[in-house]
Amino acid sequence: MKALVKFCNNYQLKLVSDPTLESHDDVLVKIKTSAICRTDQYVAQGLIDCEDNRVLGHEASGTVISIGNEVNSISIDDQVIINPMKACYRCDDCLKQDYHHCSNIQFMGVDYDGTFAEYVVCPANQVYRFSDLSFEQAAYTEPIAATLAVVYSSIHDHKEASIAVVGSGRIAQLTFQILARSGYTNVQLIGLENLQKQTSEGAKFDYVVESISTPNTATEDLFSCIRLLRTAGTLILKSRNPHPVQFPTMELIKRRITIESVYYAPFDEAIHFIENNLDLIDSLIGRSYPIEDHALAFHTANQSEANKTFFIFK
Ligand SMILES: [Zn+2]
Ligand SMILES: [Zn+2]
């Protein structure tokens, strides 16, 4: 099959062997569409550790074409979205069947082969059936789950809290929209271009949700996020900056700031959110390209932060 694989701090289109079921719990999915995410770009650039020849990609939907002997939750021909996180099934959390909190999570398209390919194999409990969504809408589940994670933080029971979402990209916009649509009444979106001004004006929020994701300015912008908080406020870290950043520990301690990090909301909740907010999802969907047009697709994904770029498979 054709696949986009990591190669020497870049990626290349290669012909690789079709994946096959590795265990009785696996499913084989024929990919219909797979979106380009910033994580894929970081992996391709070598900013996130990944072996050469790893198939990239992790935001995908498709159709199940083969299932292992012990799979009974999923059937052949089911339309599914894929959760990229593979649990280890061995750690203390996994032994309690709390796979969501597995301490040895492997990430699709980084630690094992991903979805920029015609087929992918994964355990059946990583796929979720859908019916009334397009493949593109369904493939949006992973970024929605990553954004909806904010609602599952300590913000959860504080609908009236003053919240600033800081960032300029699509995900910052999406975070703002998700909070507004989830019943939070006092949310402000602060673009990076306005961050200094807001800080100097002495704005004070109960929560600041960091959605910066620009590696080069992250430390300075994080300081500004902290200054936007009231004493004993909470900074929620959301973006996945591959570089280490500094924290002003003296200021954090003096002002008793809490730092909380979020990763994913449950995927079934993300699907539910998509089903109820199709207008929002459709406004974020950009162009689709065949995998052969990977250079143009990556270029488009880099240029246009506003909409999501997809690979589409016949
Ligand atoms: Zn992603
Ligand atoms: Zn585990």
Domains of the chain: 2-146+265-312 (3.90.180.10), 154-261 (3.40.50.720)
Tens of pLDDT, residues 263-308: 999 999 999 999 999 999 999 999 999 999 999 999 999 887 778 9
Model pLDDT, residue 243: 82
Helix (H) or strand (E) holding 96: none
Question: Is 48 within 8 Å of 41 (Cβ atoms)?
Answer: no
Distance from Cα 249 to the centre of ligand 2, integer Å? 32
Residue segments in the chain with a per-residue pLDDT below the cut of 50: none
Distance from Cα 252 to the centre of ligand 1, integer Å? 30
Question: Is 46 within 8 Å of 37 (Cβ atoms)?
Answer: no
Model pLDDT, residue 132: 93
Distance from Cα 207 to the centre of ligand 2, integer Å? 31
Distance from Cα 59 to the centre of ligand 1, integer Å? 6
Model pLDDT, residue 174: 92
Model pLDDT, residue 38: 87
Model pLDDT, residue 179: 97
Model pLDDT, residue 202: 84
Q: How far is the C-alpha of 17 from the C-alpha of 14, rounded, in Å?
A: 10
Distance from Cα 84 to the centre of ligand 2, integer Å? 14
Distance from Cα 143 to the centre of ligand 1, integer Å? 5
Phi and psi (nearest 5°) for 131? -130, -45
Tens of pLDDT, residues 67-100: 999 999 999 999 999 999 999 999 999 999 888 8
Model pLDDT, residue 215: 65
What would the two tokens of residue 192 be?
Answer: 């990076």
CB atoms within 10 A of CB 302: 12
The ligand that comes nearest to the alpha carbon of residue 36 is 1
Model pLDDT, residue 216: 63
